[in-house]
Amino acid sequence: MLTTTQSSKVRAACDRLAREIQARRETALEPHRAPSPATGLTASRLARCSRQAYYALRDWHRQPRLSGEQAARLVKGRREKALALAELLELGFELTAAHIPFPQEAYNRYGIAGRLDAKLRHPLHPRRRAEVPLAVKSLHPLAYAAVNSWRDLKKHHFYCTYYRQAQACIQAFNTNALLLLLSDCLGGWKLLTVPRDEEELASLREMTACVNAALKGGPLPPRMAYHAKVCGRCPFAAECAPKPERRRKRIVAG
């Protein structure tokens, strides 16, 4: 049995170790907190609002730094993706390619860069060489519980960007569908077949044209209809909408 002095030393050692772990973790997350330069539209940054997409390119340096928790969530998402791809291999599926850049011809035509997470070979497909485009995304467990179809994803105020990214992949690789693996970061998976959405693709092409024209000195892209959960968290809200208008919108929404 430990003496009182020994117990105090153990507790003190635990406290010191806890502080050291936390300090090292914060240091490791620091590079992920600063906003990163953006030179063009990418599939992972397809904002719901064309004006926000424009400001994110022109004034990327004005975006606030991520909090430590937000940076940790970003890193967690990348690890969840790697774990999901590794588990698919363990289950006997063949990943014929991973982290595939959008074809140059697709970028030249549509103006959106990006990567497809993987191409998965279907072992039961009559054409043995058939490959299925695969994207992997992680969601907060509460949001995960509410998303059971691509339609749920499309209408979600935040995760609709995942749907737009999936459509950008479908467009870039000229396919009619994509398999989307959703992780809840707790071990749960949902696998959604996302069909090609011509209406959404037309919206993406329109946004790309508006943003690129504005970057070359054209008019500002149109902003979306006011949405408290989207506009209220936009880092460019003060510049996008004059204060009187934002106040009026809040009064109406309230």
Lowest mean pLDDT among 8-17, 22-31, 145-154, 227-236: 227-236
When pLDDT is cut at 50, 70 and 90, the band that residue 228 belongs to is confident
User: Which of 121-135, 148-162, 196-210 tops mean pLDDT?
Assistant: 196-210
pLDDT of residue 156: 87
The rounded distance, in Å, linking the Cα atoms of 123 and 8 is 60
Residue 243 pLDDT more than 90? Answer: no
* pLDDT tens string 3-13: 777 678 888 99
Residue 159 pLDDT more than 50? Answer: yes
DSSP secondary structure of the chain: ---HHHHHHHHHHHHHHHHHHHHHHHHHHGGGTSPPP--S-BGGG--SSHHHHHHHHHTGGGSPPPPHHHHHHHHHHHHHHHHHHHHHHHTT-EEEEEEEEPPHHHHHHH--B-EEEEEEE-TTSSSTT-EEEEEEEE--HHHHHH--SHHHHHH-TTTHHHHHHHHHHHHHTT-SEEEEEEE-SSS-EEEEEEE--HHHHHHHHHHHHHHHHHHTT-PPPPPPPP-HHHHTT-TTHHHHS-HHHHHHHHHHH-
When pLDDT is cut at 50, 70 and 90, the band that residue 125 belongs to is low
User: Which of 2-11, 119-128, 155-164 tops mean pLDDT?
Assistant: 155-164
* pLDDT tens string 206-223: 999 999 999 999 999 988
The mean per-residue pLDDT over the stretch 84-102 comes to: 94
Residue 171 pLDDT more than 90? Answer: yes
pLDDT of residue 149: 96
Q: Which CATH class is domain 43-220?
A: alpha beta
* pLDDT tens string 44-72: 988 888 998 999 899 888 888 989 898 99
The mean per-residue pLDDT over the stretch 118-125 comes to: 82
